[in-house]
Amino acid sequence: MGTETAVAYHLTIAPTQRELGGLGSGQEGVRARVVGMGRAAGGRVAALLEEAPCRLLVSLGYAGALEPHLRTGDLVVGNAYLHGAEPPISGVPLATRAAVLLRESGLSVQEGPVLTVDEPLLSPRSKRRALQGSGALVVDMEGRWIAEAAARKGVPLIAIRSVLDEAQFSLPAFVAAIIADSGRREWAHAIRAMSNPSAFRSILPLAMKSRGASRTLEVAAQSMVAALPHQP
């Protein structure tokens, strides 16, 4: 098999199965993989690109809003990836084209920087500080590391983030436990937290936001699959 035919057209990744937007291995011509949360996601993406090179990487996932005007289910296409004081990874050439495509599907889409953090931002105050320090539209825990892995391999990246929690929304403390566990026992952590009245009151609103963000990701994922080429 020649090099050209060995290189796949694109790979779609997400931290969890829910964030893959309904994509799965059963769909013809679709390579979709769960890569986990946090910095480790970058290593898993690097390994995937080493094992099976591709011509385009599509990264899907949830994010927290930093800009107050963003609402649950709004999409942000990343055009720069920030982490702390490190120089940004910027100049992503496909971001504008992807944003236009998603708007044509009737979605609310903005293009802008994504801040990656090592610990979840649970409070409105922490989100305000992050906005002031970075100017990013949204915050996630994987984007920077995924962008680094793609850049090292010279693979173009389209990163689409669906807003889960608005800037004014306080996330319950058990979210940190879910993230530390890479989302493997999400409901176990939620059930354990129900003994705390404040956490219990936040579970239903958070579940509703998760459903809204997931629906938008599903439309975005299907729109990208329909638009991208299905032949090497």
Q: What are 21-69's pLDDT values in tens digits?
A: 888 755 656 789 999 999 999 999 999 999 988 889 999 999 999 999 9
What pLDDT does 48 receive?
Answer: 95
pTM over 0.85: yes
Reported confidence tier of residue 197, pLDDT bands at 50, 70, 90: low
| Cα 147 to Cα 149: distance, rounded to the nearest angstrom | 5
- Using alpha carbons, list the distances in angstroms from residue 192 to 120, 173, 187, 189: 19, 12, 8, 5
pLDDT tops 60 at residue 208: yes
What pLDDT does 5 receive?
Answer: 41
Q: Of the candidates 147, 146, 157, 80, which has an alpha carbon nearest to the alpha carbon of residue 114?
A: 80
Q: Are 11 and 54 in contact (CB under 8 A)?
A: yes
Q: Are 164 and 209 in contact (CB under 8 A)?
A: yes
Give the orientation angle of helix 40-51 with respect to helix 143-153, to 10 degrees: 30
Q: List, in sequence order, every beta strand (DSSP E) within 66-191.
A: 75-82, 89-90, 109-116, 138-140, 157-165
Q: What size, in residues, is the chain?
A: 232
